[in-house]
């Protein structure tokens, strides 16, 4: 029997070793830091309308494609909306940095040191076929996701030292201590967010494979129709077991969710304008400025709103793959960040509506600014000899340009050529070559045609340095496959974090993840300082401590020049047909479409 299989069987069938745990009492919710905002008797979240009418179809015209209905494995591209089919033991409050409330589990017990977590399943929790959700389903979900899940889940769940069903509705996890003897304080919350799968349904099926069989779930919706790459339709479960839970009240109001896929975002926009979509989140400022004009907008049938939020925005950029030789030299990466007048791009392509991204946690209190303060310095000091001296003495800033185009960045181009010469590159016949006469040439891989404008402009800027950069756009499945294999020179990609980052930061930037196919460590970062700081984030005991550690990590990543940062928006731009309504309050993390409802007479 393979060792991993034996270990997984042990998790399911062997009881927990006896240990003297600190006393714990059952609670209705848990927060990463401090106390949850809502009391045990809360009726609903503040950002929903508990009396929202039910009914209608909510349609969205989206881009891309899909080839699987299992979003929890590496293989395939999952359809949108599957999070409404699968449920977790606890549910997030989107108005708090990181707090979880009862869902499949009606309560939990966690000791002060967070060495264990005991979940008590709600006796009403049911799969869509009417069978109860049991502790066996929870243990099965841990087993298959530790063996076949996405790399981040395998990384998290590896910290579970043992697991056992105390009875049919009670599951207890014990966690392995870290090298310092302390327990990862995020683990009880991560286990609360583990997707739960029906053990009986998966019997005889390959969990690691792609599948278009509608999965058995316990959530508010089930898959009604799925056409790979084209369309997926969900129907609301009429007798959904959790409809009256405080964490569910006022949510999931549409009877039907309809996602229609398009290859091109401009076509998806036209579908929305033609009434084939009800809501659209607009990421292109140019389309926001001019693309919606027409009778429906002018007479109020289409409504455009900019809804502010306080979450970290997407950290988007042109990401270097440092596994490839040209980009292993930080001087080369710095030089290529100097090549383009991004002020001109922002003004010309994006109507000046976006902000240049200067953080891996933009638009939030987690972004590093100025010089490191005392709390940050305490985090950074052990790694001073490994970090650039300028990190401690100079605020990180993006290259300045005047927005006039190529001529506006001549000083930056001179500095770029100096750095490239220092790294061993020379201009010969108008092209940049290495010591062996090989030209500096690479490919920028894209998965979205909408990104071509920025990538082509960047490539034209590099041509002025004698670098030949070609832009290649591939279909969604091929793009994801190449990302998973790290088969690219540079790509336009992104990361996004919550207001309470934790273990996933190692999945994004840790050395171990750099060699894991399918991980989000696209640049291939292998830096002990990054590893240590990222690993320490989940151990933060207070909010202030967490903020200091994340800012320190942000600063180290920025000075590593792993990407050429692009732009972000400080607000969500939402277009909707007027029959679609939303609550007055917008949560901390931004608009939540599942809290919106349809007024058929609108």
Cα–Cα distance, 536 to 20 (Å, whole number): 26
| Residue 437 CB-density burial (10 A; 0-12 exposed, 13-18 middle, 19+ buried) | exposed
Per DSSP, helices labelled H in 149-232 are 151-157, 187-192, 199-202
Q: What angle do CA 217, 221, 224 make, to 5 degrees?
A: 95
What pLDDT is attached to residue 68? Answer: 96
What pLDDT is attached to residue 1? Answer: 37
Q: What is the residue whose two structure tokens read 């009391």?
A: 39
Helices 452-463, 342-349: axis angle to 10 degrees equals 150
- Name residues whose C-beta falls within 8 Å of residue 155's C-beta, 6 or more positions apart in sequence: 503, 506, 507, 512, 513
Helices 528-537, 543-560: axis angle to 10 degrees equals 160
Cα–Cα distance, 194 to 141 (Å, whole number): 8
What pLDDT is attached to residue 409? Answer: 67
What pLDDT is attached to residue 406? Answer: 63
Cα–Cα distance, 170 to 163 (Å, whole number): 11
Cα–Cα distance, 427 to 464 (Å, whole number): 11
Cα–Cα distance, 80 to 65 (Å, whole number): 9
* Structure tokens, 542: 């207070």
* Structure tokens, 488: 């690219």
Cα–Cα distance, 252 to 254 (Å, whole number): 6
What pLDDT is attached to residue 152? Answer: 81
| Distance between start and end Cα atoms, the chain | 62
| Residue 276 CB-density burial (10 A; 0-12 exposed, 13-18 middle, 19+ buried) | middle
What pLDDT is attached to residue 601? Answer: 59
- 10-residue stretch averages of pLDDT, the chain, 602 residues long: 34 35 78 95 97 97 95 93 98 96 98 96 98 98 94 89 97 93 92 98 96 97 96 97 97 98 94 97 91 96 94 96 97 96 92 93 95 97 96 95 72 94 94 94 95 96 96 93 96 94 93 94 98 92 94 98 95 96 94 94 54
What pLDDT is attached to residue 386? Answer: 94
What pLDDT is attached to residue 587? Answer: 94
Nearest-CA neighbor of 121 among 90, 95, 83, 153?
Answer: 90
Cβ atoms of residues 247 and 101 within 8 Å: yes
Residue 422, classed as helix, strand or coil, is helix
Q: DSSP secondary structure string, 20-44?
A: -PPP--EESEEESSS--SS-TT--S
Cα–Cα distance, 569 to 351 (Å, whole number): 12
Cβ atoms of residues 492 and 522 within 8 Å: no
Cβ atoms of residues 66 and 260 within 8 Å: no
CB neighbourhood size of 3 (10 A) = 7
503-508: long-range contacts at Cβ-Cβ below 8 A with a sequence spacing of 24 or more? Answer: 503/152, 503/155, 503/156, 503/184, 503/186, 503/190, 503/537, 503/538, 504/152, 505/534, 505/537, 505/553, 506/155, 506/531, 506/534, 506/535, 507/151, 507/152, 507/155, 508/534
Helices 3-13, 135-148: axis angle to 10 degrees equals 160
CB neighbourhood size of 260 (10 A) = 17
Cα–Cα distance, 538 to 183 (Å, whole number): 9
Burial 188-201, CB ≥16 within 10 A → b, else e = bbbbbbbbbbbbeb
- Whole-model pTM: value is 0.77
Cβ atoms of residues 445 and 482 within 8 Å: yes
What pLDDT is attached to residue 378? Answer: 97
């Amino acid at each position: 029997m393979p060792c991993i299989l034996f270990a997984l069987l042990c998790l399911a069938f062997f009881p927990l070793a006896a240990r003297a745990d600190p006393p714990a009492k059952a609670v209705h919710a848990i927060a990463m830091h401090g106390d949850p905002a809502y009391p045990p008797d809360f009726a609903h979240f503040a950002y929903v309308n508990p009396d929202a009418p039910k009914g209608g179809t909510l349609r969205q015209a989206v881009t891309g494609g899909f080839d699987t209905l299992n979003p929890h494995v590496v293989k395939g591209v999952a359809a949108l909306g599957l999070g409404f089919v699968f449920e977790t033991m606890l549910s997030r409050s989107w108005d708090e940095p990181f707090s979880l409330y009862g869902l499949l589990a009606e309560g939990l017990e966690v000791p002060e040191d967070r060495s264990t977590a005991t979940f008590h399943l709600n006796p009403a929790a049911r799969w869509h076929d009417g069978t109860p959700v049991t502790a066996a389903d929870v243990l099965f979900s841990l087993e298959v996701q530790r063996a076949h899940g996405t790399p981040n889940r395998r990384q998290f769940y590896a910290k579970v030292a043992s697991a056992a069903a105390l009875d049919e509705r009670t599951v207890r996890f014990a966690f392995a201590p870290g090298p310092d003897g302390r327990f990862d304080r995020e683990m009880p919350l991560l286990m609360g967010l583990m997707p739960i799968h029906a053990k009986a349904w998966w019997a005889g099926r390959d969990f690691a494979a792609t599948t278009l069989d509608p999965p058995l779930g316990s959530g508010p919706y089930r898959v009604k129709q799925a056409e790979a790459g084209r369309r997926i339709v969900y129907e609301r479960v009429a007798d959904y077991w959790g409809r009256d839970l405080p964490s569910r009240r006022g949510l999931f109001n549409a009877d039907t969710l309809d996602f229609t896929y398009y290859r091109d975002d401009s076509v998806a926009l036209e579908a929305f304008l033609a009434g084939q979509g009800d809501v659209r989140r607009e990421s292109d400022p140019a389309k926001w400025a001019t693309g919606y004009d027409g009778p429906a907008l002018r007479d109020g049938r289409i409504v455009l709103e900019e809804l502010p939020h306080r979450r970290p925005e997407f950290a988007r950029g042109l990401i270097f793959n440092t596994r490839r030789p040209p980009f292993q030299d930080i001087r080369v990466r710095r030089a290529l960040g100097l090549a383009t007048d991004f002020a001109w791009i922002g003004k010309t392509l994006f109507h000046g509506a976006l902000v240049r991204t200067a953080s891996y946690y933009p638009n939030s209190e987690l972004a590093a600014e100025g010089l490191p303060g005392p709390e940050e310095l305490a985090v950074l000091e052990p790694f001073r000899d490994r970090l650039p001296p300028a990190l401690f003495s100079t605020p990180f800033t993006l290259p300045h340009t005047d927005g006039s185009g190529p001529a506006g960045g001549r000083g930056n181009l001179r500095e770029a050529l100096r750095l490239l010469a220092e790294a061993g590159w020379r201009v010969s016949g108008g092209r940049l070559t290495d010591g062996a006469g090989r030209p500096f040439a690479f490919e920028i891989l894209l998965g979205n045609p909408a990104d071509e404008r920025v990538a082509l402009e960047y490539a034209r800027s590099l041509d002025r340095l004698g670098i030949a950069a070609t832009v290649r756009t591939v279909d969604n499945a091929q793009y994801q496959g190449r990302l998973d294999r790290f088969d690219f020179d540079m790509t336009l990609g992104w990361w996004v974090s919550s207001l309470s980052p934790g273990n996933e930061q190692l999945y994004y930037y840790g050395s171990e993840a750099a060699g894991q196919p399918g991980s989000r460590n696209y640049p291939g970062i292998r830096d002990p300082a990054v590893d240590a700081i990222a690993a320490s984030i989940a151990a933060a005991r207070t909010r202030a401590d967490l903020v200091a550690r994340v800012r320190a990590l942000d600063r180290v990543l920025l000075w590593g020049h792993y990407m050429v940062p692009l732009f972000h928006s400080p607000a969500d731009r939402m277009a909707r047909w007027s029959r679609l309504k939303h609550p007055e309050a917008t949560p901390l993390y931004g608009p939540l479409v599942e809290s919106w409802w349809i007024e058929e007479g609108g």
